[in-house]
């Protein structure tokens, strides 16, 4: 017997999503593409204990367009063309600054063009970061004063996510992607993030299924998208033509035993009721590489599962966000 569950998020007034930015750091090692994942603190108020890409909310300092536009390595036309797509440079620039700032705060990697004193400044900043003494305006005060500029040219757009309506904390997040800058290394901050690893997309997805690398839903979907790329050349070609497109806004369906997320490409996504088989738990978890449109949260793991009509299972177009 199938269960018909009302999709109540259609009528509720959800919290307004806060603007946020995430950076997918990639590198090629031994002819394999790897990504950097950070484990969020178990004390975190959002995705506690899950592995994610570096990122966080857009801060007030990031919103000073008139200041930052003079301290990046792209002019306004290139910012709009490369990173804004349908957005103006004024709209996308705060997300770019936030992605770069948060990546240093959480992973210790800074995308910046060297100024005369930047190397020494980076050493000082890493010491302050290790001691938890970075000021809210550290990026403006330290990097710019040393003659550095932010490397927006290293960023490419990847995807746009909006947290499901039924979640207590919601974010409107731009996912950027960038290759790991030479001469730097990643290190978790031991506060917001407690562990960091370089893994191939397949390793990350397999680790999630066995509970060793529990992933957040957007991280899981992103790693699945990256499975097809075996090196930087193919990924570079993809990012060169990628645009934000429509946001990915999953729907959360509460169950007696856990919850299910429906992605926008799921056949039931637009229905007023979600049709769920009560027998799906034991035999419908999907192996790495199998297309999916549903994630089941059970025993603190988000696992891809098949829908009740496996013939309708599809994978999102890699060239689009949905």
Q: Give the count of beta carbons closer than 10 Å to the beta carbon of residue 79.
A: 25
* 133, pLDDT greater than 90: no
Q: How confident is the model at residue 322 (pLDDT cuts 50, 70, 90)?
A: very low
Instruction: Tell if the pTM clears 0.85, that is, is over it.
Output: yes
Higher per-residue confidence, 116 vs 109: 109
What is the chain's Cα-based Rg?
A: 20
101-127: b (≥16 Cβ within 10 Å) or e: bbbbbbbbbbbbbeeeebeebbeebee
CA 76/CA 19 separation, integer angstroms: 21
Quick check: is 166 in a domain?
yes
Q: How confident is the model at residue 14 (pLDDT cuts 50, 70, 90)?
A: confident
Number of structural domains in the chain: 1
Tens digits of residue pLDDT in 270-298: 887 666 665 555 557 899 999 999 999 98
- Domain residues for 125? 18-200
Q: How confident is the model at residue 3 (pLDDT cuts 50, 70, 90)?
A: low
CA 182/CA 270 separation, integer angstroms: 45
Tens digits of residue pLDDT in 189-216: 888 888 999 999 999 999 999 999 999 9
* 30, pLDDT greater than 80: yes
* 8, pLDDT greater than 80: no
Q: How confident is the model at residue 256 (pLDDT cuts 50, 70, 90)?
A: confident
Whole-number average pLDDT of the chain: 87
Domain holding 135: CATH number? 3.90.79.10
CA 42/CA 48 separation, integer angstroms: 5
CA 41/CA 230 separation, integer angstroms: 31
Quick check: is 177 in a domain?
yes
pLDDT score, position 12: 61
Q: How confident is the model at residue 1 (pLDDT cuts 50, 70, 90)?
A: very low
């Amino acid at each position: 017997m199938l269960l018909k569950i009302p999709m109540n998020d259609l009528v509720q007034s959800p919290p307004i999503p806060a603007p946020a930015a995430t950076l997918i750091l990639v590198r090629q090692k031994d002819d394999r593409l790897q990504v950097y994942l950070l484990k969020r603190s178990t004390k975190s108020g959002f995705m506690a204990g899950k592995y994610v890409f570096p990122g966080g909310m857009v801060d007030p300092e990031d919103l000073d367009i008139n200041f930052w536009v003079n301290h990046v390595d792209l002019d306004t036309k290139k910012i709009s063309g490369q990173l804004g797509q349908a957005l103006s440079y004024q709209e996308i620039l705060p997300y770019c600054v936030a992605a770069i700032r948060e990546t240093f705060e959480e992973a210790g990697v800074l995308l910046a063009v060297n100024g005369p004193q930047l190397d020494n400044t980076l050493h000082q900043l890493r010491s302050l970061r290790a001691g938890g003494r970075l000021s809210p305006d550290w990026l403006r005060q330290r990097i710019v004063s040393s003659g550095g500029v932010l490397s927006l040219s290293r960023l490419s757009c990847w995807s746009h996510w909006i947290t499901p309506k039924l979640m207590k904390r919601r974010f409107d997040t731009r996912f950027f992607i960038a290759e790991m800058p030479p001469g730097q290394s990643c290190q978790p901050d031991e506060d917001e993030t407690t562990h960091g690893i370089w893994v191939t997309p397949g390793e990350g997805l397999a680790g999630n299924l066995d509970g060793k690398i529990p992933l957040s839903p957007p991280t899981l979907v992103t790693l699945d998208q990256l499975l097809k790329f075996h090196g930087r050349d193919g990924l570079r070609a993809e990012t060169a033509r990628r645009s934000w497109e429509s946001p990915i806004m999953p729907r959360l369906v509460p169950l007696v035993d856990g919850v299910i997320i429906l992605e926008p490409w799921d056949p039931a996504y637009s229905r007023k009721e979600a049709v769920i088989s009560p027998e799906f738990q034991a035999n419908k978890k999907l192996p790495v590489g199998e297309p999916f449109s549903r994630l089941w949260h059970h025993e603190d793991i988000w696992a891809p599962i098949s829908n009740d009509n496996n013939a309708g299972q599809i994978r999102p177009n890699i060239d689009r966000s949905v």
